[in-house]
A and B are shown apart, each in its own frame.
Chain A
């Protein structure tokens, strides 16, 4: 029902191989750190894509849920709870707060939900900068311990002191999240998300509980954001209010939109391509935002499915042309 052509599969395999071998050909620690961050942003943006792209609910609080995961892990590990427990608990807290926010707001349609989540995102950011006892205020929390080693029978143990090990851990989280999303989205259950996005009254009339569907999507998306945030805290070793800020939300939003809404690779492509693009435009200072804004508008109008959508269209055109050529030469030979 939902299969991909062989050359697309090969491309994904090549990218996976390149990602697994990355520590061997990236010598620069700075770039390595950026790549690791991009992976975490890709995880968070994939969660946002579930809500925004597949279910069509414009959430503008994703940075806040990322921050809850980050602060959750920071606070809990500093209090002596091991990382492996703190991470899922933090993600669950983000998901639960998402549920509380979603319960009243997902009854509304369209712009109201966007406005409420935007306000909530800003509130979380302000709280994280001012609740000094819990969050350390604007200074944030320092000295977050690395994850404790995992014992492996006959092998010793896997330690997480090096950057490389944290990179692999992040990559594993990304692959796990993508795998889970792949299962959810490419299924009859996933179709109900798209049904809600596409035509809510019709979805209602064919027996889909649209409210529950939106809630599930929102809660699952925020769980993923919390997961990414928790990883972020452990890798950076410190969190500050910028890890819960609305600027982060808009970064995720740009990753999703430019990368490709409602496509699984889209947010990942966005999270890697946009920082590179930003780096190239460094010489423009703040003016690069101007160009970015224009780019965003062009993409939304002409490439509603972003970079990945554009590539797919190109792919289809090439396939169609090849088909045509084959049938033409077939006619000629007769």
Chain B
């Protein structure tokens, strides 16, 4: 459903992503792995419009979204989280989620100023959907709290929730368990599985191999901005190029 076609991104002389093609298939959990600096986060930034590709194209359901603005990409049903947990930390938990749902509504300037019937309906719908998502995340009792009062894991969950509240088609997760201990990682992994079960396709970047192998249906491996392998966890694990990239040959300290 989401297709990246021979995308290249150059920063001046440096090639961050080179001639990359892959597809995210509806209903799967796809993992993108690779050593530090392999260009994983850059791929997310290219898909979501934060960066414009130097060449190549990106399609969602055969619709070309190459070079679109981030808010336009979001309204095509592509949501994302950021590597460093990114939240609206001056606001309450529930506000964070209501902001995430706003583009689905008609809660604009005039409707809000004049409290039209449409405003009333959409405002209620937004609140309801936000509470529903909080229950899904297991954060319902914390809806009234401010973000800094949440634990690290709860903040990670909330970040996923902000991306999930608008019922996206594809959810891009950039290191959803980064900095969490094993127990917390397991809980977030379980959450990701449940996201897929309720119908959202997931693509995630992660470093924790054990977690990836357990959760992913397919894996794309990047090294120096190039795809060096793609396949099921078992296939990728036995791929000579992958083993070399991670262990052998050139080790960069």
- State the A residues within 8 Å of B (CB): 1, 180, 183-184, 187-192, 194-195, 197-199, 201-210, 216, 220
Taking the nearest CB of chain B, how far is it from the CB of A175, in angstroms? Answer: 15
Q: How far is the CA of A220 from the CA of B109 in the complex (A)?
A: 10
Report yes or no: B123 in contact with A187, Cβ–Cβ below 8 A: yes
Report yes or no: A205 in contact with B80, Cβ–Cβ below 8 A: yes
Additional 6 contacts, C-beta under 8 A, given A187-B123, A191-B102, A195-B91 = A188-B99, A188-B107, A191-B99, A199-B87, A203-B99, A205-B80
Report yes or no: B109 in contact with A189, Cβ–Cβ below 8 A: yes
Is B90 located at the chain interface by the 8 A CB criterion?
Answer: yes
Enumerate the 3 nearest inter-chain pairs by beta-carbon distance, A residue then B residue, closest first.
A207-B103, A207-B74, A204-B70
Contacts of A191 on B, CB cut-off 8 Å?
91, 95, 98-99, 102
Report yes or no: B86 in contact with A183, Cβ–Cβ below 8 A: no
Of B88, B90, B104, B122, the most chain A CB neighbours within 10 A belong to: B88
Q: Which of A187, A194, A209 contacts B71 (CB 8 A)?
A: A209
- State the B residues within 8 Å of A (CB): 48, 50, 69-71, 74-75, 79-80, 82, 86-91, 94-95, 98-105, 107-109, 111-113, 115, 119, 122-123, 126-127, 162-163, 166
A188-B107, A195-B99 are known contacts. Are A202 and B162 too (CB-CB below 8 A)?
yes
Contacts of A192 on B, CB cut-off 8 Å?
99, 102
Taking the nearest CB of chain A, how far is it from the CB of B111, in angstroms? Answer: 8
Enumerate 29 A-B pairs (CB-CB under 8 Å) in ascending A order. A1-B94, A184-B109, A187-B107, A187-B119, A188-B105, A188-B112, A189-B109, A190-B112, A191-B91, A194-B95, A195-B88, A197-B90, A198-B89, A198-B90, A199-B86, A201-B50, A201-B86, A203-B88, A204-B50, A205-B71, A205-B163, A206-B100, A206-B166, A207-B75, A207-B100, A207-B166, A208-B71, A208-B102, A208-B103
Q: How far is the CA of A208 from the CA of B71 in the complex (A)?
A: 5
Contacts of B163 on A, CB cut-off 8 Å?
205-206
Contacts of B115 on A, CB cut-off 8 Å?
183
Report yes or no: A205 in contact with B48, Cβ–Cβ below 8 A: yes
Taking the nearest CB of chain B, how far is it from the CB of A8, in angstroms? Answer: 17
Q: How far is the CA of A194 from the CA of B87 in the complex (A)?
A: 12
Q: Which of A1, A184, A198 contacts B127 (CB 8 A)?
A: A1
Q: How far is the CA of A220 from the CA of B113 in the complex (A)?
A: 12
Q: How far is the CA of A100 from the CA of B117 in the complex (A)?
A: 32
Q: How far is the CA of A110 from the CA of B123 in the complex (A)?
A: 31
Of A189, A210, A220, the most chain B CB neighbours within 10 A belong to: A189
